[in-house]
Amino acid sequence: MTALTVFYTGLFYFASLALVGGLAYRIMEYARTPAPLKIPTTPAPTTTSGVVMRMAREVVLFESLFKSNKWIWLFGILFHGGLAVVLLRHIRYFQQPVWDWVVFIQPFGKYASFIMVAGLAGLWARRFLVDRVRYISTPSDHLILALLLGIGLSGICMTFGAHTDIVDLKAFALGLVTFDWHPVPDDGALLIHLFLVALLMIVFPVSKLLHAPGVFFSPTRNQSDNPRETRHIAPWAAALDRTAK
Amino acid sequence: MAGPEFEVPTLTEYTDVPRIKEGAMAHVKSFVSPQATQEYMGYPWVLPADWKERALDKMGELLGKYRSLRVFMDACVHCGACTDKCHYFLGTADPKNMPVARQDLMRKVYRRYFTLPGKIAPWLVGAVDLTEDVLNEWYNYYHQCSECRRCSVYCPYGIDTAEITMAGREILNHVGIGQKYSNEILVKVQKIGNNLGLPGPALLDTLEGLEEDIEADTGVAVKMPLDVQGAEILFVTPSADFFSEPHVESLIGYAKVFHAAGASWTMSSKASEAGNFGLFNGNYETMRKVAMRIRDAALELGCKRIIVGECGHAWRVAYSFWNTLTGLGYDGKDPFSVELQKQLDPRFPQPMHICEYTWDLIQKGVLKFDKSKNDDRVITFHDSCNVARASRMGDEPGGQFTIPRNIIRAVANNYQDMAQETIGESTFCCGGGGGLLTDDLIELRVKGALPRMNAYNNVAQEEKVNFLALICAICKAQFTKVFPYYGFDRGSVGGVHQLVSTAIKLD
């Protein structure tokens, strides 16, 4: 095995561990931290099924963002929607044979990358053009957009420009999953693409990308509005009932 | 009144989003709490030598106790959706009054001390060291937030700046930098029983005077009972209702409603305050202590129902938190809450808002009105932030919007809503909520009222509206104060039960 293959193989195992381990740690931390008071942003659903619907609208349709700002909503939905289809398309590199529906979405997935990149470009443009957003942007906000755009553009290059050897790539990817390692194809665009993806996986659990798990734990969105009917109390708060009167 | 030392914003048809003006409100600093007050509250009154450790310890503690703070510190992506949603930003153009920037004051410190990238490469993620300058900035800008939650409606992750403001104020208190206005009120309510510091005998005297006034005015002996053992209803209202104008007009309204319904009711000298400034400071134990007065009064007087008067943040605490804090509600399984809950009448929600009570009676046909008595008024209704976005009335989500309006339409002929984007869940804060209703913040209060003033001006010009109906003691005081700055008559501000009082037929 070449040094390049060793490096990329090691990188992906490390990145996967960082992503899964880091996210698991964060999610545990969110789940363990109590929410001592009922603070749903009202009007809020009064039942659990209502809360599930609210959360689904929030996560799939970006309901609050739609109320808030149509431009951010548009660019946000383009980016996230495009990314979702692109990610699903990539399942094909990790299985043999490939599921029918993954085969079916392949052409959509190829073009979804343009939608994703357009959304990212719009979001980045706002960081320069809108004075309020410029004011709040930090270097890391720009870098994460650069990272995602780099992933998108290097991907587009391989799909529509200089094709990479897809058979070799699949052997490498499958090898990672089955622990039967194969050489990583020595192709500039691919190596950049893979490196940036690994980087994204590594920074995910220590960056603002935590908005993805975070939204599910947001008390203003995931609580039902029934404080008169049910007594909601955190363990540390219940201790007060037993001691001080 | 001396002229303002600042420029009062000009009214416009729409509230335009201003270009940012850095430092525009950096000079606005609420008075700091003195030694005696801090001492009573159990906080230091000067910056201790180890202030930095204390502040960071407190922050770590809050991150472990409040999921809201923990998640909100991580989840923000700086998308900008909230940047044009805060009334204080719209009125002042100071970028630190954008919700995200206000949150970032704390987030920068969180990143520096509680996250890996902030520890390794602070410049990359905008992390900063905790310094005295940072603390001072926290103090200024965490007292330029009214905790109204408008930003939380629009945030794709539901990040509620109020939670961060509360945590910020709590940390500041723990290093000796408390706010005079809120902390002095918290002392008064705990020592004397209400925010105004009105002792029991004075309260009794005031109520008797009001009874005489009503009888002189209507010829009907409407009572304002105090500390009546065994009364069915314990009525708790903000103490401003006892002698501030226009608040007292609503108090008269509640008494007339109880009279017309033939209710057995009482107020309590012990629980002579519905408001709970513990909410604003983000200290659970203070908020609980203040709320316990109502539980204790209910237990002592043996009341079966608890009804709350017109007050926004009080209703948030009552509706959303009383069951948690004091067991005043249903479904308690522990001895602490069962002790109170077994005494409550299960046919009614506990606690109940006075608007729920009045609307219920109207629907049952118990109350009779002469709507023409309100014909000199063209009325609009301001949704108070804490009622709109942090509570509910009635059985359905959104009842907090329909029930007060239903009451107004039942007692008056002329009603007109303000623009949709300024009411309901999108309502703008009055500019004086969250512990900011103090004269040392008058510039902030006037400027922060701008979006509401624009919306009111539109209906005043186009629909001849001349009365702003409210269900919040803070809103009433704030609008009475800022209306004249914008050229409106302070007399055109009043309570929903003031309208009820005008039209109700008594016999």
Interface of A with B in 58-97 (CB under 8 A): 58, 62, 64-65, 67-69, 72, 76
- Segment A20-63, tens digit of pLDDT: 999 999 999 999 999 999 999 999 999 999 999 999 999 999 99
The pairing of beta strand B352-353 with beta strand B379-381 = unpaired
CATH class of A3-242: mainly alpha
Give CA separation, B315 vs A223, B58, B238, B307, B472, in Å.
Answer: 18, 28, 10, 10, 9
What are the CA-CA distances from residue A18 to residues A58, A89, B125, B395 (Å)?
27, 23, 19, 47
For residue B459, name the pLDDT band (cuts at 50, 70, 90): very high
Share of chain A above pLDDT 90, in %: 95
Given a cut of 90, is residue B456 above it in pLDDT? Answer: yes
pLDDT of B4 above 70: no
How far does chain A reach from its first CA to its final CA, in angstroms?
A: 71
The residue type of B305 is R
Domain boundaries of chain A, sorted by first residue? 3-242
Q: Do B78 and A218 touch (CB under 8 A)?
A: no
* A227 has a chain B CB within 8 A of its CB: yes
> With contact defined as beta carbons under 8 Å apart, do B494 and B246 qualify?
yes
Evaluate whether B85 touches A224 at the Cβ level (below 8 Å): no
Distance from CA of B374 to the nearest CA of A (A): 30
Cα B312 to Cα B320, B427, B439, distances in angstroms: 12, 13, 20
Q: Which residues are B470's β-sheet partners? A: B495
Dump pLDDT digits (tens) for B301-352: 999 999 999 999 999 999 999 999 999 999 999 999 999 999 999 999 999 9
Least CB-CB distance to B83: which of A133, A139, A241? A133
CA distances from B471 to A144, B401, B493, B498 (A): 46, 11, 11, 10
Give the integer Cα–Cα distance in Å for B119 and B110.
10
Is the pLDDT score of A244 beyond 60? no
The CATH fold assigned to B35-178 is Fumarate Reductase Iron-sulfur Protein; Chain B, domain 2 (1.10.1060)
Burial of A163 (0-12, 13-18, 19+ CB in 10 A): exposed
Q: Report whether pLDDT(A167) > 80.
A: yes
Assess whether pLDDT exceeds 70 at residue B2: no
Q: Which two tokens stand for residue A85?
A: 């289809």
Let me know the angle formed at the C-alpha of B284 by B196 and B38, rounded to the nearest 5 degrees: 55
For the stretch B280-295, pLDDT in tens is 998 999 999 999 999 9
Residue type, B380: T
Residue A211 pLDDT greater than 70, yes or no: yes
Round to whole Å and give the CA distance between B199 and B226.
13
Name the band, by pLDDT with cuts 50, 70 and 90, for residue B435.
Answer: very high
B98 in contact with A, Cβ within 8 Å: yes
Identify the pLDDT of residue B1.
45
B187-218 burial, b at 16+ Cβ within 10 Å, e below that, comes to bbbeebbbbbebebeebeebbeebbeebeeeb
Peptide bond into B351 cis (omega under 30): yes
- The nearest CA of chain A is from the CA of B186 a distance in Å of 18
Q: How confident is the model at residue B243 (pLDDT cuts 50, 70, 90)?
A: confident
Q: How many beta-carbon pairs below 8 A join chains A and B? A: 229
**Contact A141/B at CB under 8 A:** yes
Domain boundaries, chain B: 35-178, 195-356, 368-503
pLDDT tier for residue A1 given thresholds of 50, 70 and 90: confident
A residues 10..29 contacting B (CB < 8 A) = 26, 29
Residue A215 with chain B: CB contacts under 8 Å: 75, 156-158
Q: What is the pLDDT of residue B55?
A: 98
Q: Report pLDDT digits (tens) over B32-88.
A: 999 999 999 999 999 999 999 999 999 999 999 999 999 999 999 999 999 999 999
Q: What is the per-residue pLDDT for B420?
A: 96
Across the range B471-489, mean pLDDT stands at 97
Q: Which of A201, A241, A215 is nearest to A22 (CA)?
A: A201
* Count of residues in chain B: 507
Beta partners for A67? none
User: Is B6 buried (19+), middle (13-18) or exposed (0-12) by CB count in 10 A?
Assistant: middle
* B19 reaches A (C-beta below 8 A): yes
A34 in Cβ contact with A233 (< 8 Å): no
- List the end-to-end C-alpha distance of chain B, in Å, as a whole number: 43
Percent of chain B with pLDDT over 70: 99
Using a CB-CB cut-off of 8 Å, the residues of chain B touching A143 are 124
Q: What rounded mean pLDDT belongs to chain B?
A: 96
DSSP string of B299-348, one letter each residue:
HHHT-SEEEE-S-HHHHHIIIIIHHHHH--SS---SHHHHHHHTTS-TTS
pLDDT band at B119 (very low <50, low <70, confident <90, very high): very high
Name the residue among B426, B328, B70, B190 with its Cα closest to residue A219. B70
Is the pTM above the cut of 0.90? Answer: yes
